Amino acid sequence: MKQFFTIRHILCLFLLAAVIFAGVATYYKIEYWGFSFKPHERTDVWTVDAHISFEPTGEPIEVSLSTPRIGDEYKILSEDAVAAGYEVEKDDKNHRMIMKSKALKEKQDVYYRIMLYDNEDTIGKVRDHKKPKVQEITYVDEQEKVMVKELWKLADKVEGSSSAEKIIKLLNQEVPEPEVDSFLPVHKNQKIMAEKIIYLLAAKKIPARIVRGVKLGEKRRAVPADLMLEVYEGSKWMIYNINTGTVGLPKDFVVFQRGGVSLLDVAGGTHSQVRFSVIKSVVSSFKMAGRRAKYENSHLFDYTIYNLPMHEQNTLKWLMIFPLGILLVVLMRNVIGISTMGTFTPMLVAMSLVKTGFFPGLICFGLIILLGLLIRTWLTKLNLLLVPRISAVVIFVILIMQILTIIGYQFDFKIAASAVFFPIIITAWIIERACITWEEEGAKNATKQIITTSIVAVVTYMVISSDYIRHIMFAFNEWNFVILIIVMLLGTYTGYRLTELKRFAPLMKDK
Amino acid sequence: MLSLFEFFSRSKKLRAAGVLGMNARNYNVISKNNRRNLYPLVDDKVKTKTLANSIDINTPKMIGVIEHQYEVGDFMKIVANHAEFVVKPAHGSQGKGVLVIKNYADNVFTTASGKKLGFKEVYQHISNILSGLYSLGGQYDVALIEELVHFSDAFQNFSYQGIPDVRVIVYKGYPAMAMMRLATKESEGRANLHQGAVGVGLDMRTGRAINAVSHNMPIGIHPDTNADLMTLQVPFWREHLLIGAQAYEMTGLGYLGADIVLDKNRGPMMLELNARPGLAIQIANGKGLRNSLKKIDKRYPRGLSAQERVDYVLNNG
Ligand SMILES: Nc1ncnc2c1ncn2[C@@H]1O[C@H](COP(=O)(O)OP(=O)(O)O)[C@@H](O)[C@H]1O
Ligand SMILES: [Mg+2]
C-alpha cells in the first residue's frame, strides 16, 4: 500500500509539472507567435504601395523615400522596391529607400512596397531630449496677434488634457466659433490645418511638426500622404490626430516620415510626387506564426510542427486528437465502466465520423455493418477456418465500400460516398465479433454490444468533432503531455466504476 | 445523470461494505500477487492438468491432445476406447467451444444436450478449436480431450440441466470466499452468472448456502426446479477447499479462482483455474471480498502447508 501512494504522488508531481509547462508554452505561443484559441483565426496583412513619379531633368537620378521603421506599432513582412533599371539600396540607419539610375528621358514611375501585419494602437511617442527651437512667429498685423490671443482664450474653455488637444478640437468644432471661421481659409485641407495648428502652437512656444504617412483602409488607391501632428511635450514628441485631437498613434496609421527630413527627395527630376495605395489581405494566423517567431529571434519555432510542410502538418493535426480520444476511452472503460467491442474501436469509428460528417457517416457505417453481418451469417454455413474466414470478411468489407463509393459518386449520394473513410480491418472485426456474440450469447447481447460501442463512438465524436478542440489540440499540443499524465494517473485509479455502483448496489451498506 | 456527490456517497457505501471493485482488483490485488509469467499455467488447460496431476490434485483424466490440423484425422484413434468424453479448447473461457459427448455409438456422437453429431461435425469442431475460434485473441489453440465427469447427484434438484460447480477464491493460499454456480433454463445449462445462472454464496467453514442471487438480485428458490437454495450443502467441503489451497503452491498465484466439480465416484475435481476471477462472487455471498482479503493479509499465519491452511480456514474462517 505504501508503495502505491508514492507512485501516485510522483505522477501528481508530473501532472503539476506538465500543467505548468503547458501553461507557459500556451502563454508563449499566444503572446509571441500570435496563436489563438479560436480556429480559423485570420491576420490582416496590409500592403502599402508608394508610387513615385517624376520627370527627369537629364541628370543622374537619385530617388530617396523615407520609409516606415520597425516599432511596436506593426511588424514588417516584407519590403522592397520595384524600379526596373535602378540600383536599389536600403539605408537602414536613416530609414530611407534609395533608388539610383543614370540620366533618363521619359517620365518615371518607381514603386516602393511594404507589407505589414499585427498593427497595434500605441502611444506613438518619440523621445527627444533636445528641445527643438520654435520658429519665432511674425504677425502680419496687430489684428492677427489679437485674434491668436482670442483663439487661445477660446481654446482654454475646450475640454482637453493638453494645449495641443484643446486647440485642435477648437479648430475642428462642428459649428465653428466666428473667430475660428475668420482665422481659417475657406478652402482648407489637411496640410493647411496642420500648418495653422503649428502656427498657433508656436505662438505659445510649443514646438510641433508634421508627420506623414498612410492611413490604412480598404479601397485606398493613389492617395496622397496622410498627415498627423507631433507636438513636443516634456521631453518627447506626442502624436495627435489633426481632425480630432486624439493623442496616440492608431493602428491604422503607418508613419513614413517625421521630423526634419523630407518624405521624398528626387535628384535629377522635377514634378515629383508620391501616391499611396493600400491593399488588405487576410492570411491564416498560423502562417504568420513563423514570421512572428523570427521577430522574437526565437529558433524554437523551427523545431515545432508548425514549421513543417502543410501536408505533414495536416497529418499531425489529425494525430493530435488521438490522445484526447484515448483519454475518453480510458475514462469510459475505467471510470465509467462501459465495455465495448475492442478497446479503441469506438475511437477509430468516431474519427471516421469526423471525416464523413455525422449522419451520413453513421448511416453509411450502419449499412456496411448490416451488409457485412448478412454476408458473415452466410459464411457461417460454409464452416471456414478462422483466419480465412475473417480474411474473407475483410475482403467483403472492401468490396462493400467500393460499391457504396461508386454508387455514392454516380448518384451524387454523399452518404454512400463516405464509405471509403471507415477503417477496414476494424469494421471487419466488429462484424466478426458481433456475429460470434450473436451465435454464442444471442441476438440481445450482440445488439447490446453494438449499441454500447456506437454510443461510446458518438460520445467520442461529440468531443473530437469540435473545430475548437481539434484546433486547440494542434495549436497547443503541449497539453498532450497533460493528457498523458492523466491517463497514467487513471492507471492508478482504484475507485469504483460508475457501472459498479449499480452492479453492487445490493451490497451497499450505510455506515 | 448521476451527480458527483452521489457517485462519492455511493462509493463510500460500497467501500463500507468492503466491496472490491474491478479497478482495485486489477491494481491492488492481481498486479501485486500474480506474476505475469505465471498466467500461462492457468490459461492453458493442458498445462494446468499436467501440473495438477504431478501433485496429485484430482482432475478429469486427459485422454489426448490434438495440436495440429493434420492430426485431426487421428481423433478416432485417440478416443477409440471411450464412449463418452469431452473436447475443449485449451485456452477457452466461459464454456466456449466445450463439446460434451455423452455417448458414441454407431458412428453417431450424442452431446450432453441430446444433439446428434456425425464425424464431419466433430472434426469441424476440432478444426475450429485449432484455428483459435474459441480462444482469447483468436490465437492458435490446441484441443484437449478428457474424460467425462459424472456429476454427483447431490445437486440434482438444484440445477436445471447443466453442471453445477464450486468456485473458490484463494488468496495467498487461503480459501477466501466460495460460491456454487447452478445452471438455469435461461443460462442454457451453462454456469456463468452473467448468462443467467444462479450464484449461491457458501459459508467457508461448512460449505452451506448463506445467500443466493440470480441476475444480481437475491432469491430463495431455484427459478426452474423450485428447490430451496438455502438448504444447499456442498459435500466433501474440506476436499473442495484443499484443491483450492493446493492450487496456490501449484501455480504460485497469490490470487486465483479454482473451479471445482463433484464427481459421483472420484469426488471433487479441479476443472480449471483462473488468474483473474470475476467479482460476481461478492454478490452471490452478499458481502464484499475486501474484508476477507484484509483479514488474510493481517491475521492469518504465514508458512503453513495447504492442509494446515484449510484447517485454519475451517476453524477460524
Ligand atoms: N470433463 C468434463 N466433463 C463434463 N463436463 C465438462 C467437462 N469439462 C467441462 N465441462 C463443462 O463445460 C463447462 C466449461 O468447462 P471449463 O473447463 O470450465 O472451460 P471454460 O474455461 O471454458 O469455462 C463446465 O462448466 C462444464 O459444464
Ligand atoms: Mg469454466
Among all ligands shown, which has an atom nearest to the Cα of B87? 1
Cell numbers placing B172: 495467498
Contacts of A444 in chain B (CB under 8 A): none
CA distances (Å), origin B242, targets A45, B48, B57, B168, B309: 83, 16, 9, 10, 9
Backbone angles phi, psi at A157, to 5 degrees: -85, -15
Query: Is residue B171 helix, strand or coil?
Result: strand
Task: Report yes or no on A40 lying in a domain.
Answer: no
Could you tell me the distance, in angstroms and rounded to a whole number, from the CA of residue B259 to the centre of ligand 2?
A: 7
> Which residue in chain A has the smallest CA separation from B132?
A386
Whether residue A208 contacts residue A231, with contact meaning beta carbons closer than 8 Å, is answered with yes
Least confident of A285-294, B157-166, B203-212: A285-294
**Residue of A496, A501, A506 with shortest CB distance to B283:** A506
> Closest by alpha carbon to B253, among B23, B34, B17?
B34
Report how far residue A374's alpha carbon sits from residue A436's, in angstroms, rounded to the nearest whole number: 13
Cell numbers placing A162: 493638453
Question: Comparing A420 with A99, which gets the higher pLDDT?
Answer: A99
Cell numbers placing A257: 516620415
- Please, what sign has the CA dihedral across residues B240, B242, B246, B248? positive
Per DSSP, A60 falls in state P
User: What is the percent of chain B with per-residue pLDDT over 90, rounded to a whole number?
Assistant: 71
> Which residue in chain B has the smallest CA separation from A444?
B195
CATH fit for domain B19-42+152-316, picks 3.30.470.20, 3.30.930.10, 3.30.300.130, 3.40.50.1820: 3.30.470.20
β-bridge partners, A247: A240
Cell numbers placing A138: 511674425
**Residue of A386, A440, A507 with shortest CB distance to B283:** A507
CB contact under 8 A, B21 and A4: no
Least confident of A458-462, B152-156, B226-230: B152-156
**pLDDT at residue B64 greater than cutoff 70:** yes
Cβ B113 under 6 angstroms from ligand 1: no
Report how far residue A316's alpha carbon sits from residue A214's, in angstroms, rounded to the nearest whole number: 41
* DSSP H or E segment with residue A290: helix A285-295
Q: pLDDT digit string (tens) for A159-216?
A: 888 888 888 888 888 888 888 888 888 888 888 888 889 888 888 888 899 999 999 9
Backbone angles phi, psi at A128, to 5 degrees: -160, 110
* Domain residue limits at A446: 315-494
A510 touches chain B (CB under 8 A): yes
**pLDDT at residue B288 greater than cutoff 80:** yes
Degrees, nearest 5: CA angle A256-A258-A264: 55
Query: Is residue A394 helix, strand or coil?
Result: helix
Nearest-Cα distance to chain B for A305, in Å, is: 37
Cell numbers placing A154: 477660446
Cβ B86 under 6 angstroms from ligand 1: yes
Q: Which amino acid is at B28?
A: N
Q: What's the CA dihedral at A177, A182, A184, A186 to 10 degrees?
A: 110
pLDDT in the model for residue A426 = 84
**pLDDT at residue A464 greater than cutoff 80:** yes
Cβ B99 under 6 angstroms from ligand 1: no
A309 touches chain B (CB under 8 A): no
The number of residues in chain A equals 511
* Cβ neighbour number for residue A313 with a 10 Å cutoff: 15
Could you tell me the distance, in angstroms and rounded to a whole number, from the CA of residue A453 to the centre of ligand 2?
A: 27
Could you tell me the distance, in angstroms and rounded to a whole number, from the CA of residue A387 to the centre of ligand 1?
A: 26
CATH 3.30.470.20 region(s) of chain B?
A: 19-42+152-316
Radius of gyration of the CA atoms of chain B, in A: 20
CATH 3.30.1490 region(s) of chain B?
A: 61-146
For the segment A412-432, the average pLDDT, to the nearest whole number, is 80
For the segment A114-142, the average pLDDT, to the nearest whole number, is 81
Cβ B9 under 6 angstroms from ligand 1: no
Residues of B engaging A, defined by a Cβ cutoff of 8 Å:
2, 7, 10-17, 19, 21-24, 27-28, 96, 124, 127-128, 131-133, 138, 195, 213, 216-218, 282-283, 286-288
Task: Report yes or no on A327 lying in a domain.
Answer: yes
Contacts of B96 in chain A (CB under 8 A): 440
pLDDT in the model for residue A430 = 86
Size of interface A-B (CB pairs under 8 A): 91
**pLDDT at residue A294 greater than cutoff 80:** no
Distant-in-sequence, close-in-space partners of A357: CB < 8 Å, separation ≥ 6 = A414, A418
Q: pLDDT digit string (tens) for A21-47?
A: 999 999 998 888 888 888 877 888 899
- The residue to mutate among B163, B184, B264, having the most atoms of ligand 1 within 8 angstroms of its beta carbon, is B163
Contacts of A510 in chain B (CB under 8 A): 13, 16
Whether residue B317 contacts residue B205, with contact meaning beta carbons closer than 8 Å, is answered with yes
Query: Is residue B306 helix, strand or coil?
Result: helix
Q: Which residue has the cell 483663439?
A: A151
Contacts of A494 in chain B (CB under 8 A): 21, 23-24, 27-28
Report how far residue A239's alpha carbon sits from residue B171's, in angstroms, rounded to the nearest whole number: 84
Backbone angles phi, psi at A236, to 5 degrees: -145, 160
For the segment A80-98, the average pLDDT, to the nearest whole number, is 88
Report how far residue A146's alpha carbon sits from residue B178's, in angstroms, rounded to the nearest whole number: 114
The CATH-assigned architecture of domain B61-146 is 2-Layer Sandwich (3.30)
Backbone angles phi, psi at A462, to 5 degrees: -55, -40
Helix axes A467-475, A322-330, angle to 10 degrees: 110
- How high is the mean pLDDT of chain A? 86
> Closest by alpha carbon to A75, among A341, A345, A293?
A293
* Cβ neighbour number for residue B50 with a 10 Å cutoff: 13
pLDDT in the model for residue A1 = 46
Q: pLDDT digit string (tens) for B20-33?
A: 999 999 999 999 99
- Please, what sign has the CA dihedral across residues B112, B118, B124, B126? positive
Cβ B44 under 6 angstroms from ligand 1: no
Nearest-Cα distance to chain B for A439, in Å, is: 11
Question: Comparing A243 with B178, which gets the higher pLDDT?
Answer: B178
**pLDDT at residue B1 greater than cutoff 70:** no
Report how far residue A52's alpha carbon sits from residue A247's, in angstroms, rounded to the nearest whole number: 30
Backbone angles phi, psi at A185, to 5 degrees: -70, 165
CB contact under 8 A, A500 and B283: no
* Cβ neighbour number for residue A58 with a 10 Å cutoff: 11
pLDDT in the model for residue B209 = 95
For the segment B271-280, the average pLDDT, to the nearest whole number, is 93
pLDDT in the model for residue B2 = 64
**pLDDT at residue A385 greater than cutoff 80:** no
CB contact under 8 A, A506 and B217: yes
Backbone angles phi, psi at B62, to 5 degrees: -80, 130
> Which residue in chain B has the smallest CA separation from A330?
B23
Q: pLDDT digit string (tens) for A261-286?
A: 889 999 988 899 999 999 888 887 77
CB contact under 8 A, B12 and A504: no
Cell numbers placing B180: 456454487
CB contact under 8 A, A4 and B19: no
pLDDT in the model for residue A418 = 75
Report how far residue B291's alpha carbon sits from residue B18's, in angstroms, rounded to the nearest whole number: 6
Q: How far, in whole angstroms, is CA A477 from its chain's centroid?
A: 16
Backbone angles phi, psi at B274, to 5 degrees: -140, 130
**pLDDT at residue A98 greater than cutoff 70:** yes
Report how far residue A314's alpha carbon sits from residue A511's, in angstroms, rounded to the nearest whole number: 55
Report how far residue A260's alpha carbon sits from residue A258's, in angstroms, rounded to the nearest whole number: 7
A382 touches chain B (CB under 8 A): no
Cell numbers placing B2: 448521476
For ligand 1, atom 9, which residue shows the shortest CA distance? B98
* Cβ neighbour number for residue A454 with a 10 Å cutoff: 19
Ligand 1 atom at minimum distance from B45 CA = 17
Whether residue A10 contacts residue A492, with contact meaning beta carbons closer than 8 Å, is answered with no
Ligand 1 atom at minimum distance from B96 CA = 22
Could you tell me the distance, in angstroms and rounded to a whole number, from the CA of residue A25 to the centre of ligand 2?
A: 54
Cell numbers placing B257: 479462482
- Please, what sign has the CA dihedral across residues B304, B306, B307, B309? positive
Whether residue A52 contacts residue A109, with contact meaning beta carbons closer than 8 Å, is answered with yes
CA distances (Å), origin A484, targets A10, A250, A305: 14, 45, 19
Ligand 1 atom at minimum distance from B147 CA = 1
Distant-in-sequence, close-in-space partners of A444: CB < 8 Å, separation ≥ 6 = none
pLDDT in the model for residue A499 = 92
Query: What is the domain count for chain A?
Result: 1
**pLDDT at residue A4 greater than cutoff 80:** no
Report how far residue A237's alpha carbon sits from residue A207's, in angstroms, rounded to the nearest whole number: 9
Contacts of B212 in chain A (CB under 8 A): none
Q: Which residue has the cell 438480485?
A: B217
Task: Report yes or no on A138 lying in a domain.
Answer: no
Could you tell me the distance, in angstroms and rounded to a whole number, from the CA of residue B246 to the centre of ligand 2?
A: 18
Q: Which amino acid is at B269?
A: M
Report how far residue B188's alpha carbon sits from residue A441's, in angstroms, rounded to the nearest whole number: 10
User: To probe the interface with B, which of A459, A499, A501 has the most B CB atoms within 10 Å?
Assistant: A501
Report how far residue A399's alpha carbon sits from residue A414's, in angstroms, rounded to the nearest whole number: 18
Residue spans of beta strands (DSSP E) within B48-184: 62-66, 85-89, 99-105, 108-111, 116-117, 143-146, 165-171, 174-182
Cβ B146 under 6 angstroms from ligand 1: yes
> Closest by alpha carbon to A1, among B29, B16, B15?
B29
Report how far residue A228's alpha carbon sits from residue A242's, in angstroms, rounded to the nearest whole number: 6
Whether residue A48 contacts residue A80, with contact meaning beta carbons closer than 8 Å, is answered with no
The number of residues in chain B equals 317
* DSSP H or E segment with residue B77: helix B75-78
CB contact under 8 A, B16 and A510: yes
Could you tell me the distance, in angstroms and rounded to a whole number, from the CA of residue B260 to the centre of ligand 1?
A: 10
pLDDT category, B203, cuts 50, 70, 90?
A: very high
Backbone angles phi, psi at B302, to 5 degrees: -100, 160
The most confident of A175-179, A382-386, B136-140, by mean pLDDT: A175-179
Question: Comparing A46 with A342, which gets the higher pLDDT?
Answer: A46
Distant-in-sequence, close-in-space partners of A360: CB < 8 Å, separation ≥ 6 = A414, A415, A418
**pLDDT at residue A87 greater than cutoff 50:** yes
pLDDT category, A331, cuts 50, 70, 90?
A: very high
Ligand 1 atom at minimum distance from B60 CA = 1
